[in-house]
Amino acid sequence: MKHFIDPGRKRNSVNFVDHIVYSRVKDLDGNDLELDLSIMAQSGNIEMQTAGGVMPEAHEIEYHPAIIWVSGGGFRGVDKNQMIAETQFLADAGYTVVSVYYRSSSQGKFPAQIVDVKTAIRFLRAHADLYHIDVNRIGIMGRSAGGYLAAFIAMNDGEYESEEWSGFSSKVQAAYDMFGPVDMVKLMEADQLAMAKDPNHRWKTVEDTHAGAFMGGDPATMKERAKEASVNLRITKEMCPILIAHGDSDPLVPSYISQEFYDAIKAEGMEDRAELYLLKNGEHGSPEFFQEEMREIALEFFHKNLGN
């Protein structure tokens, strides 16, 4: 049958551009390593640069707030786009979504991952005109290890900055931490307790764990050094608003880590900058985190702090 319909243009199409190199670093063996990111945004924002079109005049450009997506993977390394589909709702809402690859724990130890994500933020500001990004409205979100990195970046402490894209800020205006292991010491202790209870546990020593591989170095000093990597011990007055979500049945990163993080923020007198959601029956990255209700909570948070 032949049909004639008028679907209109209520929804803009979304473009995706991959393999944009933002940093060149060395791995632990001294080998050259290129770090890349991808950008997902509504049509009219980034397609001009990828289709060979003529750039519009500056006064015609519409600049959009950006949200950086940081994948998890226990710091062991994971495809940066593994769960990018779960962030399309942000692109549909008008945000430019930027997915960032950072060095794995086999390629670099703490604070290499912090350095990488901050470099990516400066890269975006340095190329704001190219990608039509509002430099004053940049947020960050991530799950698990990515949630940890999002929370760490949220402190806006000015530390762990490389020389790449110097002159541009690595500060963010909003952060969403999804079940991030923000207390590295407590995470190590939880893993040690699990190993003691179960002789068949997947790890045998603290240096085998995700946190141990992330820290590296002498196992005898690992816990003490992990304090420097614990976000709950690094809270600053420069911290941007932060949304925290954690499942109450998480078997890998205990929910009390996020609860104590929220309490630490309250103790610093910044409760108005933090929101904590505990998800009933939520496990580590289980479907509860990607339901419509959580999307609405995330959108409300980013709308409030980044606009759009």
pLDDT of 63-94, one tens digit each? 999 999 999 999 998 899 999 999 999 999 99
Mind listing the pLDDT tens digit for each residue in 10-27?
Answer: 888 999 999 999 999 999
The pLDDT of residue 298 is: 98
Domains of the chain: 14-183+230-306 (3.40.50.1820)
Predicted confidence band at 125 (pLDDT cuts at 50, 70, 90)?
A: very high
Question: Residue 194 CA to chain centroid, in angstroms?
Answer: 27
Q: Tell me the average pLDDT across 230-252.
A: 97
User: How many angstroms separate the CA atoms of 181 and 172, rounded?
Assistant: 20
Contact 261, 244 (CB under 8 A): yes
The pLDDT of residue 9 is: 86
Predicted confidence band at 44 (pLDDT cuts at 50, 70, 90)?
A: low
State how far the alpha carbon of 219 is from the alpha carbons of 85, 190, 205, 226, 299, in Å.
38, 16, 9, 11, 42
User: How many angstroms separate the CA atoms of 231 and 182, rounded?
Assistant: 5
Task: Supply 18's token pair.
Answer: 């991959």
The pLDDT of residue 57 is: 52
Q: Three-state DSSP class for 101?
A: coil
Task: Report whether pLDDT(45) > 80.
Answer: no
Between 59 and 231, the more confident residue is 231
User: How many angstroms separate the CA atoms of 18 and 117, rounded?
Assistant: 17
The pLDDT of residue 11 is: 85
Task: Report whether pLDDT(53) > 80.
Answer: no
- Element housing 112 (H / E): helix 112-126
- Residue that the structure tokens 């959009």 belong to: 64
Task: Report whether pLDDT(46) > 60.
Answer: no
The pLDDT of residue 231 is: 98
The phi and psi torsions of 141 (rounded to 5 degrees) equal -150, 155
Type of residue found at 163: E
The phi and psi torsions of 234 (rounded to 5 degrees) equal -125, 20
- Picking from 7-16, 46-55, 99-108, which range would have the lowest pLDDT averaged per residue? 46-55
The pTM of this model reads 0.94
Q: Which residues make Cβ contacts (< 8 Å) with residue 307, sequence separation at least 6?
A: 65, 137
Predicted confidence band at 154 (pLDDT cuts at 50, 70, 90)?
A: very high
The phi and psi torsions of 194 (rounded to 5 degrees) equal -65, -40
Instruction: Give first-to-last CA distance, the chain, whole Å.
Output: 42
Contact 80, 38 (CB under 8 A): yes
